[in-house]
Structures are given as structure tokens and as C-alpha cells.
Amino acid sequence: MLSKIRAFLMLGGIAIFANAQTPEFQGELLLQPQPNNLKCLSAANNTDGAPVVVQTCTGAANQKWVFTQGTVRVFGDKCLDVTEGLNQDGTKLQIWTCSPNNANQQWFYSKWDNTVAWTGRGKCIDLTDGNLTDGNQVQIWGCWNLNPNQVWSTGYRIDSLPDKSQNGQSGTNRCSGAGSQDSSCQTAWINSATDFCLFGPPIVGTVGDTERSAVAYCTKTGRGSRAIPNGTLQGVHFVRTPEYVQITGVGDFTKINIPFGDFGGEMDNRGADGKGNPIGGLVFGDTFGSGLQYHEWTEFISYNQFCIRACIGPRSKQLCNHIYDVMGCWWNMPANYAANVYEECQGNPAIPMGVYGTSTWYQGVSPTPPPHPAPASSSCRTLSTVGLSPLATPDSSPEKRHVADFGDAHVRDYVVPRIPRPTADSL
Ligand SMILES: *[C@@H]1O[C@H](CO)[C@@H](O)[C@H](O)[C@H]1NC(C)=O
Ligand SMILES: *[C@@H]1O[C@H](CO)[C@@H](O)[C@H](O)[C@H]1NC(C)=O
Ligand SMILES: *[C@@H]1O[C@H](CO)[C@@H](O)[C@H](O)[C@H]1NC(C)=O
């Protein structure tokens, strides 16, 4: 009996190693905690026993992690390691020279939840006390995937994008230069009404048929993508909220390969197989940090309407939820879609799509609830039109810190407007 148990445990152990799951994104990855994507999981230095901490992302070697054979490596030969293998909430993480089959160095990455579990132990990498201060050492804690302190999205620095970020990717993320209408660039930007991209078909075809290989079409030349030709956009509404940027509007998207009459579909960072739609599509922006990657985003596009939202922060998965893929723009992103209006506004965040009080509706369940009301917006600035224009050079650009119009480009610094409290005098 005992030997049977032992044999079972051994098989279990083998199965555990064989079950290692890695992110869909490949190469050297940043691991960014959901509460603040400006921070990165970092090795304090390159010595055995060095603490694993959060630090402001710099893209240095101590923040570039590679998932291989169940381990999470840094500096080539060091592994993310549970100190002393102590299976207890609060045990801190360190790096240690990798050794084969060291159970303290085996990790399971959930590409659905973006959690990193100590393989087979039910404990996850956890941002200790939710403390984002540089130097805070991370720990293991019982996995609970709704806890933003356990969500570690994998990403890239804008200055070190891979050629391809996912297996099976048709195009590339390493885009630069003037761009052309046969570019296969799959890196998109969302900065403002005049500087954004939409993913669209690479060749004439319905959105549903081409979503896996969609390419970036942008209002700016100079980042290596295709252009949204003048005359395509016929209404553009940009809104910045503390938790996302969003652009909604109308146009003639037959000019970017969508057949007339195609009601379109959804694109997002994570499709049914865990890869993006398009596979390897990445979205960046300057609103919440210079060249910051948006890990959670959702776009709908049809022959005559579009909407795209890119989210950051602890509610990013809810606010950019993309499970309602047949519900279209208006239901997912209630907002202004008026034609012939081009504007940039600040706004309040929406109620997360599908959430009604304490209950969540799932697509297909009858009856279908109405969309949420469009959130209030303010401080709108109207533009005469939005056309194709060159990306200004960084130093001379009047638009460079365009988003600074809305205050400090950092979500943490967003100040909710205060309503003066009535005083005895005013009552
Ligand atoms: C590495 O970090 C640890 C902990 O912070 C420290 O004790 C050690 O001196 C550092 N080693 C080097 C070589 O900097
Ligand atoms: C947050 O982490 C920093 C760095 O380790 C530490 O100095 C600070 O005391 C922590 N703050 C709290 C409230 O625990
Ligand atoms: C597109 O429209 C913009 C104005 O929105 C204009 O500056 C630009 O020259 C136009 N480009 C072409 C190729 O017509």
C-alpha cells in the first residue's frame, strides 16, 4: 500500500512538472502587478538569496523574466524561488540559481487570470500588503484570482518589442518608420482623438473571418503601421477616465477592408484560446505613463461604427471585459457616437459591462438587459476633424504632452473633482 502511495505521489510530482503552463506571450517578459502597471517584478540583484521585489519598471535585466520548463528565470540562470520552500502564507520570494526539478522553483502561469501559482501548492505570487513602494518584497499567499495583488500581467517595454509576441502571429510588433498600406504591424496606440489606431482586416474580409490576423490602422504615420485614410473617420469621441481611455465613433470602414454591411465583431487582448484577437496584437499609450502597455483592451468594429477601450488598474479586467462579443459597441461602451463631431473629453468610468448591482449577466441568458447609461463627461474640447497626420518628432511636438491637458499623466495622481461642501453661510 505504502509503495502504491509513493508511486502515486511520484507520478503526481511528474504530472505537476509536466503541467507547467506559461504565458501566451513569449520572450523576455515584464511582470506587472494589476494595481499599477508602472511597476515591475524585479530581482534586487544577481545573487543567490536576493529578494524579489516590486520596482518602477526600467526594462533592466533584473526585470526581464523568461518562462521555461516550469521555471521563471532572470539573469539567465537564476530562478524565482520560494525561500526555504516554506509552504505558508507570507513566505517571501527570492532568486536562486536554477536547478532541475527544484520544487521551490516551479510555477504555473494562468493565461486566463494572469496569476502565477507555486505549482501544485495553491499559493500565488502576491504583492505584499498591496504595497507598491519600490523595494517591497513579494510573497506567496493562498490563490484568489480576483485579488489584484495576485494578477501579474506579462508585457513589454515599448523600446524592446519582440518581432512576434505570440506563437501563430501573422504580423509583427516591431514596427517603425513611415508605414504603408501593406504593413503587417500589430502594435496599436491610443492617445487622443487625433492619435489612435484600430485593428482591422489585413485584406478585404469580414471582421469575424480576419480577426486573428488583424493589423493596426492608425491616424498617425511614423510608427510603421497602416494609415486610416482621410475620409474614413466621420465622428470621433475620445474620453479619458481615471481607469481607461476610450474612443467611439462612426465612419466608412470599407476604406480599411471591412466589406459593406459587415456587422463586424470584437477584438481584444485574450480570445477563446488565451491568445489575442489579433494573435499578438499589443496596445500602448501615453495617458497613464509614457509608452505604457495596456494589458486589457477591447474593440468592436463594423463597416460603419467603432469603439475601443483600454484599461488600467485594479478593475481593468472588469472595465475592459470582453466576454460580451456579440453585443456590439453601444451595449459594451455606451458613449457618444454622433457623426460629424470630433471631440476629446474627460469622463467618469462606466459601470462594468454586464454588471447589474450584485449580479452579473452572461451573454445568451434571457432576457438581455439594457446597456448601462453613458457615463457623464466634461471638459470637452472640439476639433474640426480628425485626419491622417505625421507623428510629430518628440522634441518639437505640440501634441507630445497633449494628454497633460487633463492633468498629470498618471492614474494615481488623478484628482476626483471636489464638490464644495455647503457651509452654514451658503445654506
Ligand atoms: C543583494 O541584495 C541583498 C539583499 O538586499 C543584499 O544583502 C546583498 O548585499 C546584495 N548583494 C550585492 C552583490 O549587491
Ligand atoms: C511598503 O514597502 C516599503 C518598501 O519595502 C516599506 O519601506 C514600507 O514601510 C511599506 N509600507 C507599509 C505601509 O507597509
Ligand atoms: C488628411 O487630413 C488632414 C487634416 O485633417 C490633412 O492635414 C492631411 O493633409 C490630409 N492628408 C491627405 C493625404 O489628404
pLDDT digits (tens, 9 = 90+) for 269-297: 998 899 999 999 999 999 999 999 999 99
| pLDDT digits 0-9 by tens, 51-108 | 999 999 999 999 999 999 999 999 999 999 999 999 999 999 999 999 998 999 999 9
- Nearest atom in ligand 2 to the alpha carbon of residue 53 is 5
Minimum-distance ligand to the CA of 48?
1
Looking at the fold, whether 270 and 201 belong to one and the same domain comes out as yes
Same domain, 251 and 391: yes
Q: Is residue 416 located within the same domain as residue 283?
A: yes
135 lines ligand 2 (CB under 6 A): yes
Residues 118 and 185 in one domain: no
Ligand closest to Cα of 129 equals 2
The residues lining ligand 3, judged by C-beta closer than 6 Å to any ligand atom, are 230, 385, 387-389
Residues 331 and 359 both lie in one domain: yes
Does 280 share its domain with 335?
Answer: yes
Count of helices and strands (H, E) across the chain: 4, 29
Domain extent for 240 = 167-426
Does any ligand 1 atom lie closer than 6 A to the CB of residue 135?
Answer: no
Q: Domain for residue 2, yes or no?
A: no
| Pair 178, 50 in one domain | no
Q: How many domains does the chain have?
A: 2
CA–CA distance, 371 with 322 (Å, rounded to integer): 15
What's the pLDDT tens digit per position in 293-344? 999 999 999 999 999 999 999 999 999 999 999 999 999 999 999 999 999 9
126 and 257 in a single domain? The answer is no
Count Cα neighbours of 302 within 13 Å in the Cβ-side half-sphere. 15
Closest-CA residue, ligand 3 atom 14, reads 230
pLDDT of residue 101: 86
Task: Give the cell for residue 208.
Answer: 469575424
Q: Is residue 162 situated within a structural domain?
A: no
**Same domain? 29 vs 140:** yes
Burial of 88 (0-12, 13-18, 19+ CB in 10 A): exposed
CB 252 within 8 A of CB 231: yes
Q: How many Cα atoms sit within 13 Å of 171 on the Cβ side?
A: 32
Query: How far, in Å, from the CA of 369 to the mean position of ligand 3?
Result: 42
The reply to whether 178 and 288 lie within a common domain is yes
Atom of ligand 2 nearest to the CA of 129: 14
Dist. CA 39 → ligand 2 center (Å): 15
Both 186 and 302 in one domain: the answer is yes
Same domain, 290 and 254: yes
Answer yes or no: pTM beyond 0.85. Answer: yes
Instruction: Tell me the CATH number at 76.
Output: 2.80.10.50
